[in-house]
Amino acid sequence: MSTEPQVEGTLSVTDSRTGQTYEFPITDGTVRATDLRQIKTSDDDFGLMTYDPAFMNTASCRSAITYLDGDAGVLRYRGYPIEQLAAKSTFLEVAWLLIHGELPTAKELEGFEKQIVDRMVVQAEVGESIKAFARNAHPMGILEAGFGHLSTLYPEAKQVESGPERMEAIINTIAKMPTIGAMAFRHNQGKDIVAPDPSLDYSTNILKMFFGADYEVDPRLVRALDILLILHADHEQNCSTSAVRAVGSSQVDTYSAVNAGIAALYGPLHGGANEAVLVMLREIGSADNVSDFMDKVKSREALLMGFGHRVYKNYDPRATIIKGACDDVFEVTGVNPLLEVAVALEATALADDFFIQRKLYPNVDFYSGLIYEALGIPTEMFTVMFAIGRAPGWVAQWLEMIQDKDQKISRPRQIYIGSGERDYVEVSAR
C-alpha cells in the first residue's frame, strides 16, 4: 500500500455565483478542504470553506494505525482483526503493535513488558497531591491532575522532536496510567496506596494495586481484564484521540496532550458512557421494567446508554467480544443480576423500529461495565479503566501526528455570525 496520496480522479465544481468551474484532485476518496479556497467571488474573498462542526465528514489526518468499517462492523489494529487480537494477544503486545506498527519479536516483547512494569511506580509527590482531594472526588478528575503533575515532573518531555524523549514519555504514559488510577481508587476508599510490583505482569499489578497486595488474583479475571484493555486500546479518530492530536499539535509535552484525551473521555457521551450504563441498569432494576424504560427512550426522555455510535451502524465488534468475556468472568464471580436487565434491553431494542431505523446497536460500553462491576471495580472507576486501555492508542496516534509532515498546529476556521462593528457604550449609559 502506497503511503503517498494517489490521484484517483478529479472533482469538477461550478460556482453558480461566478459561473466559474474548478477541478480538484481526488486522493484517498477525499478532496482537500484547502483546495476549495481557490473558489472565490473576488480577489479579497477568503475562499470557500466547509462547515462541519462535529467532524461528521472531515478526515483530520492520514493514519496507518486503526481501520474501522462502521457499516460492516469491522475493527483492525495495524491490519490485525480485533477478534484475533482479543483471542490470542496481550494488552502490552497490542500496545507495542499500535506504537511500532508491527507485532514484536519475543525479545522485543519481553523487553517492553519489563520496561513498562518497571515504570509503573509513580513519584511520591503525586501520591501526596492526591491526598489533597476530597474523599469522594471523581477519579477521572484525579487522573487529570495526576497527568498534569507528571508533565511537571518530566520537563524533558517538552522535547517532542527527540525520538528517545518521545519513547520515554510513551512508556511512562502506559505504565503510570493504571498506577494513578489505582491511587485515585484507594484514596476514594480511604485506603493506603499499594505500590506496583515489578515481578508481576501489568494486568495482575492493576488488580493488586486496586484491591491490595494480598488480593488473590484469579488468572481468568486477569485475562478478562487484559481482553477489555485490548478492546479499548484504539479506535481511530474518536473524541479523546482527536483531542490528544489537536492539543499535541501545539507541541506541548506528551503528558499534557494525553491529559486532553483524559478530559474528553470523562464526558458521558464518550468514555463516561460505561458508568452511565450501570447507573441506567440499576435505575431500571429488573427486566420487567424494560418496556417502560424503552417508552421513555422513544419519547426522548432518556438515552439508551451503551447504544449507538457515530461510526458503527452495525453491531460494535467489541461488544460481541465483551459479551463473550462476560461468561468467563461470571463463571468466577457469579452472574451479575443486572446482566438480565441488559440482555432484555438489548433484545427489546434490536427488535424495535426506533432502533432499527436509526441503526442503533450495542457499543463497547454496553457490557463492559458489568464485567468491571463483577471484578469489584466501582462505577466511578469505569472511565479510568477505559483510559488505561486507551493510553496506547493515544500515544500511538500522538506519535504518528508529531511525525506527520502534513501536520501543523490544529486550528479550525469559523463562520462568524456575531454583530458587526459597534462602538463601546459606557456602563453609565447602558
The three cell numbers of residue 320 are 460481541
β-strand 21-27 against 80-81: which pairing, if any? Answer: unpaired
Q: Which residue lies nearer to ligand CMC by CB, 239 or 335?
A: 239
Given the residues 138, 253, 270, 316, the one annotated as active site: 270
Residue 216 burial (CB count, 10 A): 8
Under rule CB under 6 A, residue 360 binds ligand CMC: yes
Nearest Cα residue to 237 out of 263, 255, 264, 259: 264
Q: Which of 237, 256, 363, 397 binds ligand CMC (CB under 6 A)?
A: 363
Q: Is 232 a known active-site residue?
A: no
Under rule CB under 6 A, residue 297 binds ligand CMC: yes
Range in contact with ligand CMC (rule: CB under 6 A) among 116-124, 287-295, 340-348, 361-369: 361-369
Under rule CB under 6 A, residue 310 binds ligand CMC: yes
Residues 61/50, Cβ–Cβ less than 8 Å: no
Under rule CB under 6 A, residue 273 binds ligand CMC: yes
β-strand 74-77 against 80-81: which pairing, if any? Answer: antiparallel
Residue 404 burial (CB count, 10 A): 14
Residue 26: phi and psi, rounded to 5, are -105, 120
Under rule CB under 6 A, residue 247 binds ligand CMC: no
Distance CA 207, CA 245 (A): 30
Q: Which residue lies nearer to ligand CMC by CB, 253 or 365?
A: 365
Under rule CB under 6 A, residue 313 binds ligand CMC: no
Q: Which residue lies nearer to ligand CMC by CB, 39 or 75?
A: 75
Under rule CB under 6 A, residue 270 binds ligand CMC: yes
Q: Which of 309, 370, 371, 399 binds ligand CMC (CB under 6 A)?
A: 309
Range in contact with ligand CMC (rule: CB under 6 A) among 33-41, 256-264, 335-343, 362-370: 362-370
Q: Is 235 a known active-site residue?
A: no
Under rule CB under 6 A, residue 231 binds ligand CMC: no
Q: Which residue lies nearer to ligand CMC by CB, 172 or 240?
A: 240
In the complex, least distance from residue 240 CB atom to ligand CMC, rounded to whole angstroms: 8
Binding footprint of ligand CMC, residue count (CB under 6 A): 19
Given the residues 226, 234, 253, 365, the one annotated as active site: 365
Q: Which of 77, 210, 307, 394 binds ligand CMC (CB under 6 A)?
A: 307
310: left (phi over 0), alpha (psi -120 to 50) or beta: alpha
In the complex, least distance from residue 77 CB atom to ligand CMC, rounded to whole angstroms: 16
Q: Which of 130, 364, 395, 401 binds ligand CMC (CB under 6 A)?
A: 364
Distance CA 147, CA 180 (A): 8
Under rule CB under 6 A, residue 242 binds ligand CMC: no
Q: Which residue lies nearer to ligand CMC by CB, 304 or 371?
A: 304
Distance CA 206, CA 190 (A): 18
Q: Which of 13, 74, 217, 303 binds ligand CMC (CB under 6 A)?
A: 303
Under rule CB under 6 A, residue 391 binds ligand CMC: no
Long-range CB contacts (< 8 A, 24+ apart) of 406-415? 406/61, 406/62, 407/61, 407/249, 408/249, 409/249, 409/250, 409/251, 410/60, 410/245, 410/246, 410/247, 410/249, 410/250, 413/49, 415/49, 415/51
Beta bridge partners of 68: 75
Range in contact with ligand CMC (rule: CB under 6 A) among 263-271, 283-291, 332-340, 388-396: 263-271
Tell me the chain's radius of gyration from C-alpha atoms: 24
Under rule CB under 6 A, residue 358 binds ligand CMC: yes
Range in contact with ligand CMC (rule: CB under 6 A) among 5-13, 72-80, 283-291, 358-366: 358-366
Contacts of 153 (CB under 8 A, 6+ apart): 123, 125, 126
The three cell numbers of residue 95 are 500496545
Under rule CB under 6 A, residue 202 binds ligand CMC: no
| Residue 278 Cα distances to 22, 230, 239, 378, 379, angstroms | 53, 21, 22, 10, 7
Contacts of 229 (CB under 8 A, 6+ apart): 91, 203, 385, 388, 389
In the complex, least distance from residue 232 CB atom to ligand CMC, rounded to whole angstroms: 9
The three cell numbers of residue 249 are 499539535
Distance CA 400, CA 65 (A): 9
Under rule CB under 6 A, residue 317 binds ligand CMC: no
Residues 233/393, Cβ–Cβ less than 8 Å: yes
Q: Which of 204, 238, 336, 368 binds ligand CMC (CB under 6 A)?
A: 238
Q: Is 365 a known active-site residue?
A: yes
Active site residues: 270, 309, 365
Q: Which residues bind ligand CMC (CB under 6 A)?
A: 238, 269-271, 273, 297, 303-310, 358, 360, 363-365
